[in-house]
């Protein structure tokens, strides 16, 4: 029988004091005057963020907020796995696995935990309630570093299927973005009888298949946009997929190096209109960075890209995901496709364009994401649609 040990985040004073010393002793690089984010992380913004980090950010307040939710750890396939298990007060709540990606962690979902687990308390309906299981992906955050090779998406999906079995959930729904979407797909491919349905915000399609014929005007534009993105925004992917250990030294030793590596992606991948803090506060940004710093997982999280490539899983699977899949289309998502392309790879039963939002919708637009998850999984459960008003 799987053993579950209660867990709470409690970083030592020594770790926090060491962080303060490192921040105070930062050796800053030069930058081309006025270059902003053109060459990568903006020096001026990083200086401002680090000053706030050192002088104002309250990690203990974040610990208290995070620890308000039940958390546990267990061992699966030799790996330490951390997860939140938030049970709904509703007796008929459905199990939902929420899966994060990089550079993220379970805290990405803090804003949606209440509305999804206890919708009545948030103006919703009891029928839309879920028991939530929110794991830290092995190699990330409070699951700690992976300790052996081979932790690719398929193996992680197997581990999460075992976790859900241990928690007593024979069948369940899953939601994911970024690598969380990849994990959701692997759960469907490897454990199809366990998956009641998937909700994703990120698609892995690999472009047009030959049988699609000529691209539509929309598809041609998406392909052109993707070509530009691939040319200027994927250096992180190439490095983490080939030589992740090289950057690991910087990410584990330098808090500012870690911040620059993550913040540059948050700035590029969110729908922020050119102002990162229009969608994410400094506290939210730093809480995410701190989950990597205090657990020393800046390097091990990047290994997921290497393991994915080594297992031949980088890109779309040769198998179609046949579980019912609902797709929420946020306009600033990294890899976009049309429904006809997506349907070659996924059994798409719902396709819902969203008005705003980017790669981290649970952080950026939690109300939109919550509403789409509830309505999508309601339909998959055979329940009637309801009128909603999302502010």
Region of poorest pLDDT, from 107-116, 193-202, 381-390: 381-390
Q: What share of the chain is helix, strand, coil (3-state, %, to 5)?
A: 50, 15, 40
Region of poorest pLDDT, from 287-291, 304-308, 317-321: 317-321
- Asked if the model's pLDDT at residue 250 lies above 80, the reply is yes
Q: What single string gives the DSSP state of each residue in 96-117? A: EEEE--TT--GGGGHHHHHHHH
169 is known as an active-site residue: no
Please report the pLDDT score of residue 146 as a whole number: 97
193 is known as an active-site residue: no
CA atoms within 13 A on the CB side of 41: 22
* Residue of 100, 345, 359, 372 marked active site: 359
Does residue 236 come out as left (phi exceeding 0), alpha (psi in the -120 to 50 range) or beta?
A: alpha
Q: How far is Cα 219 from Cα 232, in angstroms, rounded to an integer?
A: 20
Q: What's the pLDDT tens digit per position in 354-372?
A: 999 999 999 999 999 999 9
List of residues 6+ apart from 110 with CB closer than 8 A: 65, 66
Q: What angle do CA 275, 278, 281 make, to 5 degrees?
A: 110
* Residue of 236, 305, 335, 346 marked active site: 305
Average pLDDT value for residue range 102-111? 97
Please report the pLDDT score of residue 206 as a whole number: 77
Q: What's the pLDDT tens digit per position in 139-179?
A: 999 999 999 999 999 999 999 999 999 999 999 999 999 99
Please report the pLDDT score of residue 354 as a whole number: 98
List of residues 6+ apart from 50 with CB closer than 8 A: 23, 26, 256, 259
Q: Report whether 72 contacts 5 (CB < 8 A).
A: yes
Percentage of the chain modeled with pLDDT above 90: 91
Assigned superfamily of 18-24+39-380: Alpha/Beta hydrolase fold, catalytic domain (3.40.50.1820)
Please report the pLDDT score of residue 192 as a whole number: 97
Lay out the sheet containing 346-353: strands in order across: 5-6, 71-76, 79-86, 130-135, 94-99, 172-176, 195-200, 321-329, 346-353
Please report the pLDDT score of residue 143 as a whole number: 98
Q: How far is Cα 191 from Cα 269, in angstroms, rounded to an integer?
A: 31
305 is known as an active-site residue: yes
Pick the closest to residue 176 from 201, 141, 203, 158 (CA basis): 201
* Residue of 178, 191, 271, 332 marked active site: 178
pLDDT level of residue 390 (50, 70, 90 thresholds): very low
- Asked if the model's pLDDT at residue 387 lies above 80, the reply is no
Pick the closest to residue 59 from 13, 24, 2 (CA basis): 13
Q: Give me 194's structure tokens.
A: 């366990």
Average pLDDT value for residue range 213-233? 90
pLDDT level of residue 123 (50, 70, 90 thresholds): very high
pTM of the model: 0.96
- Asked if the model's pLDDT at residue 210 lies above 70, the reply is no
Please report the pLDDT score of residue 389 as a whole number: 42
- Helices and strands (H and E) in the chain: how many: 15, 9
Please report the pLDDT score of residue 131 as a whole number: 98
Q: What's the pLDDT tens digit per position in 63-89?
A: 999 999 999 999 999 999 999 999 999
Please report the pLDDT score of residue 385 as a whole number: 65
Average pLDDT value for residue range 203-214? 75
- Asked if the model's pLDDT at residue 55 lies above 50, the reply is yes
- Asked if the model's pLDDT at residue 24 lies above 80, the reply is yes
- Asked if the model's pLDDT at residue 249 lies above 90, the reply is yes
Q: Give me 271's structure tokens.
A: 């729908």
Q: Report the chain's C-alpha Rg in angstroms.
A: 20
The mean predicted confidence, pLDDT, of the chain is 95
Place of tokens 């198998």: 319
- Asked if the model's pLDDT at residue 207 lies above 80, the reply is no
pLDDT level of residue 1 (50, 70, 90 thresholds): confident
Region of poorest pLDDT, from 254-258, 308-312, 343-347, 387-391: 387-391
Q: How far is Cα 303 from Cα 194, in angstroms, rounded to an integer?
A: 28
Q: Tell me which DSSP letter residue 40 carries.
A: S
pLDDT level of residue 382 (50, 70, 90 thresholds): confident
SS3 state at 76: strand
Average pLDDT value for residue range 261-279? 98
pLDDT level of residue 213 (50, 70, 90 thresholds): confident
């Amino acid at each position: 029988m799987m053993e579950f040990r209660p867990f709470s985040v409690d970083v030592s004073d020594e770790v926090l004091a060491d962080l303060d010393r490192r921040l105070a002793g930062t050796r800053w690089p030069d930058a081309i005057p006025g270059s902003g984010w053109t060459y990568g992380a903006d020096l001026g913004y990083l200086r401002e963020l680090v000053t706030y980090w050192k002088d104002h950010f309250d990690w203990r307040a974040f610990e208290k907020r995070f620890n308000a939710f039940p958390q546990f750890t267990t061992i699966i396939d030799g790996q330490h796995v951390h997860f939140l298990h938030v049970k709904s007060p509703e007796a008929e709540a459905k199990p939902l696995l929420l899966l994060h990606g990089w550079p993220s962690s379970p805290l990405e979902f803090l804003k949606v935990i209440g509305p999804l687990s206890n919708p009545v308390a948030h103006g919703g309906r009891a029928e839309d309630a879920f028991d939530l299981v929110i794991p830290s992906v092995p190699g990330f955050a409070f699951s700690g570093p992976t300790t052996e090779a081979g932790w690719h998406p398929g193996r992680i999906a197997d581990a999460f299927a075992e976790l859900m079995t241990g928690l007593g959930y024979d069948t369940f729904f899953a939601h994911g973005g970024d690598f969380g979407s990849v994990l959701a797909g692997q759960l469907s491919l490897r454990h199809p009888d366990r998956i009641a349905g998937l909700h994703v915000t990120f698609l892995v399609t690999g472009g047009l298949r030959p049988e699609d014929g000529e691209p539509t005007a929309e598809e041609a534009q998406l392909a052109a946009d993707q070509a530009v993105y691939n040319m200027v925004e994927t250096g992180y992917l190439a490095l983490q997929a080939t030589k992740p250990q090289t950057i690991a030294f910087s990410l584990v030793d330098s808090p500012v190096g870690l911040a620059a590596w993550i913040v540059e992606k948050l700035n590029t991948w969110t729908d922020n209109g050119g102002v990162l803090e229009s969608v994410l506060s400094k506290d939210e940004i730093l809480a995410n960075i701190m989950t990597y710093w205090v657990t020393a997982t800046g390097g091990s999280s990047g290994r997921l890209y290497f393991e994915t490539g080594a297992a031949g899983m980088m890109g779309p699977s040769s198998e179609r995901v046949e579980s019912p899949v609902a797709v929420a289309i946020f306009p600033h998502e990294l890899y976009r496709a049309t429904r006809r392309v997506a349907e070659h790879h996924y059994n798409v039963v719902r396709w819902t364009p969203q008005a705003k939002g980017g790669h981290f919708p649970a952080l950026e637009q939690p109300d939109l994401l919550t509403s789409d998850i509830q309505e999508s999984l309601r339909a998959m459960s055979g329940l009637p649609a309801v009128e909603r008003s999302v502010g």
